[in-house]
Amino acid sequence: MITHILVFAPLAVLLVLAAGWDLASYTIPNFIPVATLASFAVFAVTSGYDLHLYEVHCLAALIALIAGFTLFAFGYIGGGDAKLFASVAAWLGLHDLMQYVVVASVFGGALTLFLLASRRWPLPAPLASRGWIVRLHEPTAGIPYGVALAAGGLAILPYTDVFRSVAG
């Protein structure tokens, strides 16, 4: 159990940090996806991944990066979201990538519906002094999709091949 915590704590912390940052500012700083990708590289080396397995995980990241930047180019997600998506995909590999896409999409849909519904009502007075909540409540504001990407990654992590490889 302690091994799981030590191995996956950096990923979990980075995902929570990305979600919080995106929620508060609609941005995900570059250091978060870079650190997420670097933590996977350290994990792969210390876990004894052979070159083929490492390449498969890198291919998943490349596919996610291309898909993410395509969505970014059309204005559906932010650049930070695209980079976060790719860095999480590196951890998951091809086998669990579609599961991640589905789960993150469900979280994204729920978040979108919640924010759209809440924007139809006046903001309660105690929340009106919180700048980040006011920004989230603006009718023209976007959706902080990094929250859904982080939640999706955290939700499926215990069911992934990479997690099972540590669990034995």
pLDDT at res. 48? 86
Give the burial class of 143: count Cβ atoms within 10 A of its Cβ; 0-12 exposed, 13-18 middle, 19 or more buried. Answer: buried
Nearest to 57 by CA among 73, 69, 68, 45: 45
Residues 136 and 23 sit within 8 Å (Cβ to Cβ):
yes
pLDDT in tens, 59-99: 999 999 999 999 999 999 999 999 999 999 999 999 999 99
pLDDT in tens, 16-41: 999 999 999 999 999 999 999 999 99
pLDDT in tens, 112-166: 999 999 999 999 988 888 889 999 999 999 999 999 999 999 999 999 999 988 8
CA separation for the pair 79, 74 (Å, rounded): 11
Domain boundaries, the chain: 2-167
Q: What is the pTM of this model?
A: 0.92
